[in-house]
Amino acid sequence: MSYWKHLNENQRKLIASMLTKKMKLVEIADLLEMDPTSISKEIKRNRVLSKKGLKDKVCKYTTRYPYVCNGCMKKYNLCPFTQYKYDSHSAQKAADYNLVTSRQGLNMTDEEYLNLDKAIKEGVADKQSVYHIVKHHPDINVSVPTVYRLINTHQLSTKRIDLPYAVKYKKRKDLKQYEYKENNRIDRSQRTYLDFLAFQHDRPGLFHVQMDFLGSIRTDKKSILTMTIPSLHYVLLFLVESPTGKKVVDIFDQLETILGTKLFTQVFPFILTDRDFCFSQFHQIETSLLTQSRRTHLFYCDSFNSSQKANVEQMNKQLRKFFPKGKSIDHLSKERVNEFNQIINNTHIASLSGSTPSEALLKLYGQECLDKLTNIII
C-alpha cells in the first residue's frame, strides 16, 4: 500500500463515483491504494450542505461512513434529515486554495528574518549585487527572486531605489542602422566587425577580449582602460593619465612581459574595440615586443555602434558604482583601482553557475596566470 501526500482531481472523482455506487470504505481505500482513514477524512472535510432538515432529526449515515447522501435511495424532497453531498469539483477547489494559502508568507523565524534584512541592507550599501549577497551568506535560505520580491513589496528595509540598476533599466529601443563614411586616414581593412565575426567563427575554442576607455568628466586627465573577457566575466582595469595610442601599446607590452608571450597569446588571442584614436596603432598592439611576431589580432566595431561590444559596455555600466559619472577620478591611484578590480573579479556571477570570474580564469588558464593578473599594476 502506498501513501499519497495529496489526493488529485481524478482520485476525488473516483471517490464521488464509488460513493454513489455504495462501495465500502475499505474497497475504496484498496482501489486507490490509500489508508481508509485518509478517505474518511477527505469525505468529512469536503462534504457540503445540500439541504437543511429538522433540528431533532439526524441521519445515522451522516455521523458515520459514508457521512454523505451520495447514493442514498430516499427521494430528496421526502427525506426529513439534513443532507450532505460530496462533490469532487468543490473538494479539488478547496484543496487548491489551501495549498496556495499555506505557502504564503515567509517560512522563517523572526531571528532569521532580521538576519536576512541585515545582510541584504549591509550588502547593498557595500555595492554588492543581491545574487552575490545570497551566494556569500549560506545562512540565507531564500532564493534571489524571493529577495527581489520582498524588496519590491516593501517587506525589507532595503528599498528598490537602493539597488544600483533596478531603477535605471529602461525599455530597449530599436537599433537604427546608419551608414557612415570610412575614415580614409587609417586603413582598417580586414579588421572590421564582419572580419571579427568571421575570425571568431573559424576559432570557436578561443575567448576574445573586449576593450574600451571609461572616463568621468571632460576636465579629468585620467581615464580607465577596461579590458574584459566576456565568457569569463573577468576584467582588467588600468588607470591611464592623458591616454594616447603609445600608452595603450605600452600597457600591452608590459602585459606580455609579465605573462610571457605564450601565456599572453592564450589570454589575448583577439581583441574587439571601438575606433578611439588611442586604439589606432594596431600594428604595434599586434606585434610582440619580445619576439617581433604577431601576438594578437585587433578588430574594430562599426562607427557609432557600441552595441557590438556590449559586454565591455555593460561592464563600464557596473563600474559606475565605483566611479560615478560626473565625479572626478583624478584623485585615484593605480593601487586603488586595482582594489576595485579585485572586488569585481571575486563577485559571484549567476551565469558562471555561482563561481567568480577569478575562479573561472583559474580553471581555464591555471594558477600562474591568475597570480600574475591579480596583482598587476601598470
What are the DSSP calls for 325-353, one per residue?
A: TTS--TT--HHHHHHHHHHHHTS--GGGT
Cell 589580432 appears where? Answer: 297
* Under 8 Å between Cβ of 25 and 39: yes
Which pLDDT score, from 0 to 100, does residue 4 have?
53
Find residue 229's DSSP bridge partners.
234
Summarize the confidence of residues 159-169 as an average pLDDT: 75
pTM above 0.75, yes or no: no
Which pLDDT score, from 0 to 100, does residue 171 have?
55
Residue 306: what residue type?
Answer: S
- Indicate whether 296 pLDDT > 90: yes
- Indicate whether 173 pLDDT > 70: no
- Indicate whether 138 pLDDT > 90: no
Superfamily of domain 193-374: Ribonuclease H-like superfamily/Ribonuclease H (3.30.420.10)
Mean pLDDT lowest among 6-10, 76-80, 280-284, 354-358 = 76-80
- Confidence class for position 120, pLDDT limits 50, 70, 90: very high
* Relative orientation angle of helices 310-319 and 334-345, to the nearest 10 degrees: 110
- For CATH 3.30.420.10, the residue range(s) in the chain are 193-374
What are the DSSP calls for 136-150, one per residue?
A: H-TT--S-HHHHHHH
Summarize the confidence of residues 61-88 as an average pLDDT: 85
pLDDT per position as a tens digit, 204-255: 888 999 999 998 777 889 999 999 999 999 999 999 999 999 999 999 999 9
Rg (CA), the chain: 34
* Segments of 24-107 assigned E as strands: 47-51, 83-86
- Indicate whether 105 pLDDT > 70: no
Which pLDDT score, from 0 to 100, does residue 180 have?
43
Distance CA 32, CA 11 (A): 7
Distance CA 145, CA 326 (A): 32
Summarize the confidence of residues 247-276 as an average pLDDT: 94
pLDDT per position as a tens digit, 15-25: 999 998 889 99
* Under 8 Å between Cβ of 7 and 29: no
Distance CA 162, CA 151 (A): 10
CA-based end-to-end distance of the chain: 72
| Mean per-residue pLDDT of the chain | 87
- Grid cell locating 246: 603609445
- Confidence class for position 179, pLDDT limits 50, 70, 90: very low
